[in-house]
Chains A and B, each alone.
Chain A
Amino acid sequence: MKAFTRAGASKAAITEVPTLCPYCGVGCALSYGADANGVIQYAEGRDGASNARRLCVKGRYGFDYAAHPQRLTRPLIRRDPAYPKGPLSTFSRADSSGPRKPGGIVDYAEVMPHFREASWEEALDRVADGLGRIRSRHGADALAGFGSAKGSNEEAYLFQKFIRSVLGTNNVDHCTRLCHASSVYALIEGIGSGAVTNVVRDIENAEVAVIAGCNPTANHPVAASFMKQAAAAGTELLAVNVRRPGIAPYCRQYCQIRPGSDVAFYNAVMRVIIHEGLHDRDFIKRRTEGFEALAAAVESYTPETASEMTGVPAEEIIAFARRLGQARSAMFFWGMGISQHVFGTDNARCLIALALLTGNIGRPGTGLHPLRGQNNVQGASDAGLIPMYYPGYQSVADPDVQARFEALWGASLPANPGLTTAEITHAALDGDIRGLYCMGENPFLSDPDINRVREALASLDFLVVQDLFITETAEFADVILPASAFMEKRGSFTNTDRRVQIGRPVREPPGEARQDWHILRDLAQRLGHDWDYADEAAIFDELVQAAPLYANLSHARLGMAGRWYPCPGPESEGERVLFGDTFPIGRGRFVPAQLGEAPDLPDADYPFVLNTGRQLEHWHTGVMTRRSRALDAIAPEARVEVHPDDASRLGIHDGAWTRLASRRGEVSVQARITRDVAVGTLFLPMHFREAAANLLTTPELDPYGKIPEFKICAVRLAPELPPSAPSPPAEASRAVD
């Protein structure tokens, strides 16, 4: 017989802070349970509009990066012997493609000796001087800024304001350029708005949903749970992807197209819909223009022709078109498989045309939804962190707009649109960009063709990096400023659904690390601008003033639950479904597209097509997730996915070491044998620096969205002997239990 004598629960010692998840664009609301020392013990889903208390592995377990011992606690200045600049660690050097050590984060023992600690006074003086000197010698357009979609709206707003009004150039961009820039271009061109027209969860009202070029179970896991839930309740999912997505088993149909053949597939689908009279004639007549040109453009894409181009049997293309054409409501979700191509804009144009053709915008259960990647990529773009637009997508080339912003900011502003992310690194190589302010981005790993980026970063006269850690990019910095992590700041974040929500601080920044907006304010003051804000809410108010898009929103009104924008009145929840009656440009525009060709195609020497992307447990360049003990324990290593037919032909078994080489670089990586990839194609996640996918990728850009081609590059694959680890921080020590 036992006695039940348990004392009260120990939960009293835990404070739960309602905030958001710092990872993807789904924007899950959560609470962090923190102990008296501010150490986060667990994350619990809140009843947010986009997550209904659900979380995924990253949100649930990936929060400890902020408490990692590698956090920067004081400003750092590069020591004189560390010039001329170049990579500081063995890893980042050009000759380092040999065996790597595991772990995947910058080796501080190797890098730290090249920097010295400095006071904030000295570091900020050095930054103001470094940037100011380049401006006076080479002009403001020799400067550029990379902001971050991981920062808040307030930080994004101030960063672009700093680059534009203090430094005097429009060369300001962020990782949207590597993500959905092409989708946004096509959306603004086609319907006049770059954001989603409907929220993820409205899929429950859709009869059919197209899941195109995205892998939501890995990259938007909580959104995927609502898609699967809708599928269980009767919504029919139609997936199109070169690599089998995790949601495929829940789909009515999955079409595995050949890399780069999206336009052919969708043009053929549109041709079938038009030929079989399944298009929405009334919607086309009332709401669109350019239908005849579209119909003419798709006419040559018969199912048989498209079948040869895409590898999808003609009858499957016809079945897809009929199911979609007959649906009373359909939603269109897409991701990087659509956007990250040199013809990414054309791919997105096809999906927009398909939605217009079938009348599937503006009603419940219909709409266009490019699944935004970062937790605040929508907000950072809304706040003007892009070279061609002020906050609220107001063109920098419009003199009236420019005058309005000059009045608002009390500064004269440049009239010429600035350079985009990859254009900035190209320009650095050419000597046209000489100074770069990098806040929370890691272009060394995130931009295509690392060997090119390495040279570009080394060639800069002045680089200031503001981040949580010494990133690979920060190895090239003159000054490194220690910044605040998501769970150390207050600010608003706009998710993929256009919902603006408030993140709240759980812990203090470590040591002397500062709030990012304080750093920007102090730098602006040093450069002669009288910036002063009471708090984050005041910055948000100025953003609302600058961007009518955010009308009727304020920190107080956002409260615990947030609201969607556009928000038509102070009491409104905001709008879920947009464009029921008209588009911002009046009529929607059909923009026909023809099948293009990728710049780096296979040949006898490089016979495989390499696709790059993400996996569930990791986030982009791994700066956060590889410092999360749980996520690192679940997924410690990179794997290249190889089809079993290719693997057996080359004598590669599951887990075997292989050598992957493209025309630009090479990596060693272990193989995973899977039928998820098609014969002749490979997949490598982008997160792992020791097998950096971007050493292989090609730097060519989409002409409209300026997005790089991350999804197609030609590579060679060969078995390799296991690496003889030079310094063995024993592989065994990675085991968890």
Chain B
Amino acid sequence: MSEVTLTIDGQSVTVPAGTTIWEAAAAAGIDIPVLCHDPRLEPVGVCRVCAVDIGERTLPAACVRRVEPGMVVHTDTAEITAHRRVLTELLLADQSATSRRETTTGDDALYALARKLEVGTIPWPDGSENTPRGHDTSSPVIAVDHQACILCDRCVRACDDIQHNDVITRTGKGHATRIAFDLDQPMGQSSCVSCGECVAVCPTGALTHRALPERPAHLEEVAS
């Protein structure tokens, strides 16, 4: 396999041809933030927070753009940081007041990114103020908060391409776009097998583990 040498943040990096900029940077120990990407998934480049400067007219998504010989990549300029902050603020604008992910598995990637970028006041209106996207609590084990969903498609790809259960999809248009189960069934009535892969890959509070259901009273018997 042929190799490609490029420069990332002043560092010379040699990787196999076909590698993405994000992978090449990761191999060199350079952390480019991502929300929609997970190394186990085919990249789709929809969240754009991994945008980098390669001297082109626009900022390409590092998760999808392949490396090229002699490419000069900047991952951390003032322009890029401003770009990422705006995107993050836009995503946060219609988030719920609290992320369930912060209180369950504690790994909300959107909130972590906001903290890293020192986001303060969000200068954008909450687009869902009058049209909340709603919740789905029909599954005993997985809580769905459409308000926290950033449509990154990670859950769709995890369900289709990792577990091959083919349950999750998208439905709706524009602001009303959201994830759906089968032909828009409540999750608990869909063909979902509760493997939890969607929760594992979700970067926000959109898909989280529910607290274990209450034990029915007749099972609450204490030994001896």
Contacts and interface: CB of A to CB of B under 8 A. Distances in A.
A229 B159 CA distance: 11
A705 interface: no
Contacts of A9: 102, 106-108, 111-112
Given A42-B104, A57-B193, A64-B212, 14 more contacts: A3-B120, A3-B121, A6-B99, A6-B102, A8-B115, A60-B196, A61-B212, A69-B220, A70-B222, A76-B224, A103-B216, A225-B163, A225-B164, A729-B216
A700 to B, nearest CB: 35
A229 B194 CA distance: 18
A225 B222 CA distance: 39
A12 B124 CA distance: 31
Contacts of A64: 212
B164 A633 contact: no
Contacts of A69: 220-223
B92 interface: yes
A629 B123 contact: no
Given A73-B224, A117-B224, A55 B164 contact: no
Question: Which size bracket describes the interface of B in this complex?
Answer: 35 or more
Given A6-B114, A56-B193, A70 B164 contact: no
A60 B195 CA distance: 7
15 contacts: A1-B121, A6-B102, A9-B107, A33-B105, A55-B200, A61-B194, A74-B224, A103-B219, A117-B224, A221-B193, A225-B164, A229-B161, A229-B164, A232-B161, A737-B213
Interface of A: 1-4, 6, 8-12, 14, 33, 41-42, 44-45, 52-57, 60-61, 64, 69-74, 76, 101-103, 105, 107-109, 112, 117, 217, 221, 225, 228-229, 231-232, 250, 616-617, 627, 629-630, 633-634, 729, 733-734, 736-737
Contact of B213 (A101, A112, A117, A630): A630
Nearest to B208: A42
A221 B209 CA distance: 19
A487 B205 CA distance: 28
B122 interface: yes
Main secondary structure on A side of the interface with B: mixed
Given A14-B106, A103-B219, A229-B164, A44 B200 contact: yes
Interface in B92-130: 92-93, 98-99, 102-108, 111-112, 114-115, 119-126
Interface of B: 40, 89, 92-93, 98-99, 102-108, 111-112, 114-115, 119-126, 137, 140-141, 161-164, 193-197, 200, 209, 212-224
A119 B53 CA distance: 72
Contacts of B93: 2
Given A61-B194, A630-B213, A4 B140 contact: no
B224 to A, nearest CB: 6
A42 B212 CA distance: 10
A41 B104 contact: yes
Q: Chain A CB within 10 Å — which of B119, B124, B224 has the most?
A: B224
Contacts of B137: 737
Q: Is the interface of B mostly helix, strand, loop or mixed?
A: loop
Contacts of B212: 61, 64, 629-630
Nearest to A44: B200
A232 B164 contact: yes
B214 A736 contact: yes
Contact of A225 (B119, B162, B196): B162
9 tightest Cβ-Cβ pairs between the two chains A and B: A11-B106, A729-B218, A228-B164, A60-B196, A633-B140, A57-B194, A9-B106, A736-B213, A633-B213
B141 A61 contact: yes
Contact of A2 (B92, B104, B193, B222): B92
B162 A54 contact: yes
A1 B106 contact: no
A208 to B, nearest CB: 18
Contacts of A73: 223-224
A108 B221 CA distance: 7
A103 B121 CA distance: 51
A737 B126 CA distance: 30
Nearest to B117: A4
